[in-house]
Each structure stands twice: as C-alpha cells, then as structure tokens.
Amino acid sequence: MPTPTKGPRLGGGPAHERLLLGNLATSLFEHRRITTTEAKAKRLRPLAERLVTFAKRGDLAARRRVLTVVKDKGVVHELFTEIAPLVADRPGGYTRITKIGPRKGDNAPMAVIELVLEPLSPKQATVAEATAATKRAAKKDAPKKAAAPVEAAPAEAEDAPVEEAPVETAEVEAAPAEAQDVPAEDVPAEKDADDTK
C-alpha cells in the first residue's frame, strides 16, 4: 500500500492530480517507458505498481478497479494480458526510475520511468526458490512440532538442525541447476514479447 502523499498535489488540485497520474500510468503501460519529471515519476511509481499487482491478480474485479484509473480499455487489456505474465515471478518492484539530468527549457530534473520486464536474474531466481523451499519446509515441520509433547521439545530442537541441513544443501545443489535453466526458458518468452510489440 503506497504511503499517502503529504503536501501539495501535482497540477491544480486533488482531482487534477488523479487525472494527471491516470494519464501518466496509461502512457507508461502503453509505451513501457516514459520520460517525465522526477517529481511526477516518484508519484507515479506507487500507483503504477499497485495497478500491476491488480493485473497479476487478473480477475474481473481487479480489471474494474484498474479501469477506474486507466480509462483506456485497450491499454488495460495489454496490461492484463501482456505485462502481467512478464512480471508474474517478480515480488514487487515492477518499475524503475533513472534520473537523466535537468531539462533544457526550465532546468527541471527529468527521469525515465520504465516497467522492469526482464526475467529475474539467476541470483534473484535462486533466492526466490530458496525462500519458497524454506517456507514449504516450515509448513511441513509445523504440524509435527504442534503434535509433539512439550517434554520432547529439547530433543527435537537438537534433531531439527540435522534434519534441516540436508534439505537445505539439497536445495542449494538443485538451485544452480535450475538457475541455468531459467535464462534458456525465458529467452523465447522475451522474444515473443518483442514480437507482439
């Protein structure tokens, strides 16, 4: 959930800001990358990422909520069908802001805001895989521990690291192999994305 904005709105008032950010979001999803002022890019980021989260959910209610901000149905369709699958594995951080220095006319600091559509790097993928695995392991362990009596707790605590250790090493061994697979799998996907553009 984005932090509420303090201080004056962009444009002439709250309604103007809503319209302005809606238009910026529409342009961002249409072109994947837009150049704007730093202030506008910073305000757009939380809104755009929230809309992408809705797109990843993908149901009709989510689509209607996005349509309240992005009025263009074509762009919303593109967001739900093309952008959402590309960021399916990404745990947030769907946009990237890069500062590109001051504008010539009024010296306003400018920035490029773009959707991060590259596949996760092998390292990130490994980390995601590992955290998912530990979560699964924790879930498996939880019922066991709940069932065990209190007296058995210390004994189990001693066993637990030994039990977990092989699991984790197995995960680590499995991870690089999977990491190698990831780029190979993702390259055709990216090609498809380029073709559709």
Partner 1 sequence: MAVPKRKMSRANTRARRSQWKATPATLSTCPKCKAPRLSHQACPSCGAYNERTYAEAIRTDA
Residues that bind partner 1 (CB under 8 A): 35, 98-101, 104, 110, 112
Neighbours of 12 (CB within 10 A): 11
Minimal distance, residue 90 CB to partner 1, in Å: 17
Minimal distance, residue 68 CB to partner 1, in Å: 30
Minimal distance, residue 96 CB to partner 1, in Å: 9
Give the residue with the Cβ less far from partner 1, 21 or 110: 110
Minimal distance, residue 117 CB to partner 1, in Å: 13
d(CA 194, CA 192): 5
Give the residue with the Cβ less far from partner 1, 98 or 169: 98
Q: Report the Cα 163 to chain-centroid distance in Å.
A: 33
Closest to 24 (Cα-Cα) out of 46, 10, 3, 41:
41
Give the residue with the Cβ less far from partner 1, 112 or 130: 112
Give the residue with the Cβ less far from partner 1, 81 or 98: 98
Q: Looking up tokens 């149905």, which residue turns up? A: 73
Parallel/antiparallel/unpaired status of strands 95-102 and 109-115: antiparallel
Looking at residue 81, what DSSP letter applies?
A: I
Minimal distance, residue 76 CB to partner 1, in Å: 26
Looking at residue 153, what DSSP letter applies?
A: H
CB neighbour burial string for 105-120, b if at least 16 within 10 angstroms, e if fewer: eeeeebbebbbebebb
Residue 45 · residue 36 · CB < 8 Å: no
Give the residue with the Cβ less far from partner 1, 118 or 159: 118
Minimal distance, residue 100 CB to partner 1, in Å: 4
Cα–Cα distances in angstroms (integers) from residue 52 to residues 7, 47, 102, in the given order: 26, 9, 29
Give the residue with the Cβ less far from partner 1, 121 or 169: 121
